[in-house]
C-alpha cells in the first residue's frame, strides 16, 4: 500500500513539475518552444480559450486516436496526464509569479530552467509506472502500426505538429530545434534515478512484509 501511494505521489508530483516547466517556457515563448507547445500557443492565438485548455484538448484527441489504433497504451495514467498538465500550466501562468521575458540572453536561461524542470517531471511520472502520457502512447501506437522505431515515429509526428503550429503563427525559433536534445538526457537521468528509488521502495516493502505462516 505504501509503495502504491508513493508511486501515485511521484506521478502527480511529476505532472505538476511538467506543467510548471511548460509554464516557465511559455513566459519566454519568443525564443522558441517544444513543437506541441508551439501548436498549443498557435491554437490559443487563433481561437482563444487558454494554452492549457488546448493542451488538454490535443491530449484527449490523441487518447481517442490511440484507443482506436491500439488500446494497450491507454490507461488511467494516460487520462490523468492529459487532464492535469494543461490546468497546472494555466494555474502557474495565472498566478503570475514566474519570471517574465527580458528580451535579453537571460530569457534563454529562463527557458533552460523550464526545460530542466519538464525533464525531471517527465522522468518522475514515467518512473511511477502509472501509465504513458497521451503523446507517448500515440507515438508507441504509430510505431507498432508502421514498424517505425519510436524515435522515428516521434520525429515524424513532432515535425508534422511543428509545421502546423508554424503555419498558424506559433512561436518557432532557435530553441524549438534544440529543445528535445536538451530535455531528453535530463529526462533519461531523472527516469533512471526515480526508477531506482521506486525499486528500493519495493524491496524495502517486501522485506518488511511478514511472511505467512505455513501450517
pTM recorded for the entire structure: 0.88
Which regions of the chain are under pLDDT 50? Answer: 212-215
Q: How far is CA 65 from the centre of its chain?
A: 18
pLDDT on residue 215? 38
Task: State how far the alpha carbon of 198 is from the alpha carbons of 1, 16, 18, 79, 205, in Å.
Answer: 13, 19, 19, 22, 10
The residue among 175, 180, 127 whose CA lies nearest residue 151 is 180
Phi, then psi, of 18 in degrees rounded to 5: -65, -45
Q: pLDDT tens digit string along 94-104?
A: 998 898 889 89
Amino acid at each position: 500500500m505504501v509503495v502504491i501511494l508513493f508511486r501515485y505521489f511521484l506521478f502527480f508530483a511529476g505532472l505538476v513539475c511538467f506543467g510548471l516547466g511548460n509554464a516557465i517556457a511559455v513566459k519566454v515563448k519568443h525564443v522558441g518552444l517544444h513543437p506541441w507547445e508551439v501548436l498549443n500557443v498557435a491554437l490559443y492565438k487563433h481561437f482563444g480559450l487558454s494554452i492549457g485548455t488546448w493542451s488538454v484538448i490535443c491530449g484527449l484527441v490523441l487518447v481517442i486516436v490511440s484507443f482506436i489504433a491500439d488500446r494497450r497504451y491507454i490507461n488511467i495514467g494516460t487520462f490523468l496526464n492529459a487532464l492535469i498538465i494543461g490546468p497546472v500550466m494555466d494555474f502557474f501562468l495565472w498566478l503570475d509569479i514566474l519570471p517574465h521575458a527580458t528580451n535579453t540572453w537571460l530569457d534563454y536561461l529562463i527557458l533552460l530552467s523550464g526545460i530542466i524542470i519538464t525533464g525531471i517531471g517527465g522522468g518522475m511520472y514515467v518512473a511511477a509506472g502509472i501509465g504513458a502520457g497521451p503523446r507517448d502512447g500515440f507515438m508507441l501506437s504509430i510505431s507498432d502500426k508502421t514498424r517505425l522505431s519510436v524515435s522515428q515515429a516521434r520525429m515524424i509526428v513532432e515535425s508534422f505538429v511543428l509545421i502546423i503550429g508554424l503555419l498558424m503563427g506559433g512561436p518557432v525559433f532557435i530553441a524549438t530545434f534544440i529543445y528535445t536534445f536538451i530535455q531528453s538526457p535530463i529526462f533519461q537521468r531523472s527516469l533512471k534515478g526515480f526508477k531506482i528509488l521506486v525499486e528500493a521502495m519495493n524491496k524495502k516493502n517486501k522485506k518488511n512484509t511478514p511472511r505467512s505462516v505455513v501450517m
